[in-house]
Structure 1
Amino acid sequence: MPVYEYTALNTRGKTVSGIIDAESAQSARQKLRGSKIYPVSIKETHKTSVQKSSWFTGFSRPFIRIKPSEISMMTRQLATLVGAGFPLVSALDTLIPYTKSHGFKRVLAQIKDAIVEGNSFAAALSGYSGIFSPVYINMVRAGESSGTLEIVLDRLADITEKQQALNGRIKSALAYPILMALIGTLVLFFLLTFIVPSIASIFSDMGKALPAPTRILISISSFFKSFWWVLIILGVGAAIGISQVRKTEKGRYHWDKALLKTPGIGVLIKKLAVARFARTMGSLLENGVTMLSALGIVQNIVGNALLSRAISQSAEDVGKGQGLGPSLAASDLFPGLSIQMVMVGEQSGELEAMLNKVADVYETEVETTIMSLTSLLEPLMILFMAVIVGFIVLSICLPIFEMNELIR
């Protein structure tokens, strides 16, 4: 069924816009008038089948950006409606008018149409892989096949909400240090580029050798004033170079390897990846996805090439009859505690619950570590800025002291 975008006037004369599905433009107008909405303009959007939507999504991915919070909210509401007995199509039809994002409204309408045409919910979602993750699609597929779609949607909402909450706490913890670093850098750049040169011109008229700190400061200031554009070019070039390297499989492998070996940061990255692996793996297994299929899905979402290879090798070992714990331990990449907990879960028959506990443990550790680092980072940044500013002040004051002695 075609989907139409409309602009209309309501009974109060206010302009409203949205989308509606109908057999034709005339039917869409009649539907709107029946709802006491009077269309001003109406046009058909792309009619996207499941096969076409894969191309359409791939083409339009840069232009359709759906926030994870919107997907999480939609999933929670959809789980509630389906759990209350609404048919899936009716539940989607109910949600579409209350979706804030216009692009997401259109996507949901086209997914609903794909389901009406006879496709499964998972098949309709798979056409929008740029919006819905492989984990999301596979869990929905497992829920449909087992008849527990409302439970699966509920768990998906829990997963996305927990990930957003963790990301939000990490971002809020890092926001202040990053802001301080940015402001400090701008202040130093302003001092070295504009203030110091004007003061240095006074010292150059003294006709006397300047103290070593002052000469160093003037040299640094001259470099920044003359070659600041070189620093910008180098920074942009480095960012582009790293981005291009990370696009290749070999380059991403070496980049991720270097990150894991970076003191302090490497441990955090590993714990965050292990938490993501455990949370997703536990949810997939709970919803009936087989071990090998779950490992195949999870290896693409851990966010680290080394861990992804380790999980891929683990899947091969599990396929040969080895346990998940010993197969992960062979890589020497997963923390010992996580391996022990997985082994205990396998032996007790509660692997899914133990994987969720692993995720809880490492998410808490990551959050605690970041909070501790940021609380330590703030005074260190203040101290660093104080040293730099103190050096600038000292470099400026030393010649002034010498001038005073000459006057005496």
Structure 2
Amino acid sequence: MAFNLDNIEKQAPAIKEPSTGTSFLKKEIVLFDRTFSNKVKEDLYTELSVLLKAGITLKDGLELIQSSHKKKQTKAALQEIYNAIISGESLSEALKKQKQFTDYEYYSIKIGEETGTLFQVTEQLGNFYARKNEQHRNLVSALTYPVIILSTAVLVVVFMLRYVVPMFQDIFRQQGVELPAITKFIISLSEFVGSYGWLMLVAIIAMMASKPLFNKNKRYKQFKDTLILKLPFIGNFVKAIYLSQFTQAVSLLTASKVPVVNSIQLVKQMIDFYPLQHALETVEQHILRGQSLSQSLGQHELFDDKMIALVKVAEETNQTEFIFDRLNMQYNTQVQQQSKMLSTIMEPFIILIVGVLVGVILIAMYLPMFKLSSVMG
């Protein structure tokens, strides 16, 4: 039986006899730029699930979780949620007022309250954000070392253009040597870096500082996400990450008996990746026209043949939750493997680029020296 998401009545969580808290809640949750980051949500849902399963009331559980936080902003937000529960509101309505929780979380919590399985829903949400954070760490781990090498290479090249090349340029000017084309190009590039280097640095810093503003622009996000998807190696890696999140979300919602169309709508609002959001919009329209989920997925190139075939099997055997859970495990394994491979491939590739750039600069500088030595000889 599927639940109608538009007609779920507000229901306060059941009150149970309070019991003693657990010691593992005495840990600090580190926050970054948001009150409820993915890391905070992971800990919030996981701890709340453990407390509810242990028989602690929702009110007392929230009070324990709030006392474990040290950041004032988070404590204040959790206090607002706690006050809303005290005043008779449901947890789902209290979370919705915070505006940092997605509709996906809102309806999942509401279904948990309606069916009396709130501890299971919070556990599933905790697992979702745990895997999402793990995938983010895999991405950072795969790109950190290559980015460090690339940044060092850029600094080395800039140093050579800014300080080494001008020294050779003075020697060439004093001797009146006719310069090869490649040397003229390198000298022109050195003069450009010397004249506009600081402006370029300021522009890069400004772009990095204004990144949050750019991310709010729909066209910029569309261009950036589409470009990332087309990059060699990185594109397939990022695609696997978001397909893993998609399959896990569908598995969670299917377990909560959410209809397919509503699942697609909620996942589309939760996963912030334009190619996947655009694909899910298309899938949603095809389902509304009467097509099956497997047929709808098959009409978009973002979803591979493996997923389409297994979804078709799930529809025929009524094992949607199981199939999507298996798909999620496969994509999660693929993400881990590709993160290691990406780091292994990018490291020698960047070193090769650095060697070529430095070699070109050195050759450009030494060619006139060879010519000068032959003339003097």
- The separation in 1 between residues aligned to 2:273 and 2:134, in whole angstroms, is 21
Q: What's the offset of the Cα at 1:86? A: 0.5
Contact 1:274 1:302 in 2 (8 A): no
CA distance in 2, matches of 1:195, 1:256: 39
Distance 2:281 2:87 in 1: 36
Q: What is the percentage of aligned positions where both structures have the same residue?
A: 26
1:90 aligns with one of 47, 50, 60: 60
| 1:171-320 equivalence runs, <5 A | 171-229=140-198, 231-232=200-201, 247=216, 249=218, 252-253=221-222, 256-320=225-289
Partner of 1:105: 75
Matches within 5 A, 1:314-393: 314-393=283-362
User: What SS does the corresponding residue of 2:149 show, helix, strand or coil?
Assistant: helix
Instruction: Answer 1 or 2: which has greater strand percent.
Output: 1
C-alpha contact (below 8 Å) 2:311/2:320 kept by paired residues: yes
The alpha carbon displacement at 1:322 in A equals 3.1
Question: Which residues of structure 1 form unaligned runs of 5+?
Answer: 1-61
Distance 1:385 1:269, change over 3 A: same
C-alpha distance in 1, partners of 2:300/2:61?
Answer: 45
Seen in structure 2, the aligned counterparts of structure 1 residues 388 and 70 have a Cα distance that, compared at 3 Å, is: same
Supply the distance in 2 between the matched residues of 1:242 and 1:96 (Cα, whole angstroms): 31
Offset, 1:381: 1.2
Query: What's the offset of the Cα at 1:303?
Result: 2.9
Aligned pairs, number = 346
- What is the CA–CA distance in structure 2 between the aligned matches of 1:304 and 1:163, rounded to whole Å? 13
User: Aligned in 2, Cα 1:63/1:350: closer, same or farther, shift over 3 Å?
Assistant: closer
Higher relative contact order (CA 8 A, sep 6+): 2
Alpha-carbon distance, 1:252 to partner: 4.7
TM-score, with normalisation over the residues of structure 1?
Answer: 0.76
Q: Check whether the contact 1:273–1:303 (CA below 8 A) recurs between aligned residues.
A: no
Give, in whole Å, the separation in 1 of the partners of 2:285 and 2:376: 84
For structure 2, the residue ranges without an aligned partner over 5 or more in a row are: 1-31
Q: CA deviation at 1:263?
A: 4.4
In the alignment, structure 1 residue 117 sits paired with structure 2 residue 78 = no
- How big is the shift at 1:245? 7.7
Query: Is the deviation greater in 215-224 or in 278-287?
Result: 215-224
Following the alignment from structure 1 to structure 2, what is the Cα–Cα distance between the partners of residues 109 and 241?
32
CA distance in 1, matches of 2:230, 2:189: 33
Deviations for 1:203-222, whole angstroms, at most 9, x for unmatched residues? 21002213443333212211
Indicate how the Cα distance of structure 1 residues 63 and 279 shifts in structure 2: closer, same or farther if over 3 A, else same. closer
Quick one: structure 1 residues 384 and 315, their matched pair in 2 at CA, closer, same or farther if it must change by over 3 Å?
A: closer
Q: CA offsets, 1:303-361, max 9 Å, x none?
A: 33343233233334434543211122123431111111111112121101111222222
Q: Tell me if the contact between 1:211 and 1:398 (Cα under 8 Å) persists in the aligned partners.
A: yes
Cα offsets for 1:42-78 (capped at 9, x unmatched): xxxxxxxxxxxxxxxxxxxx98533322221222111
1:73 corresponds in structure 2 to 43
Report the residue type matching 2:92 in the other structure.
A
2:364 corresponds to: 395
Find the counterpart in structure 2 of residue 25 from structure 1.
Answer: none
Does the 8 Å CA contact 2:177/2:372 hold for their aligned counterparts?
no
- Show the counterpart of 1:127: 97
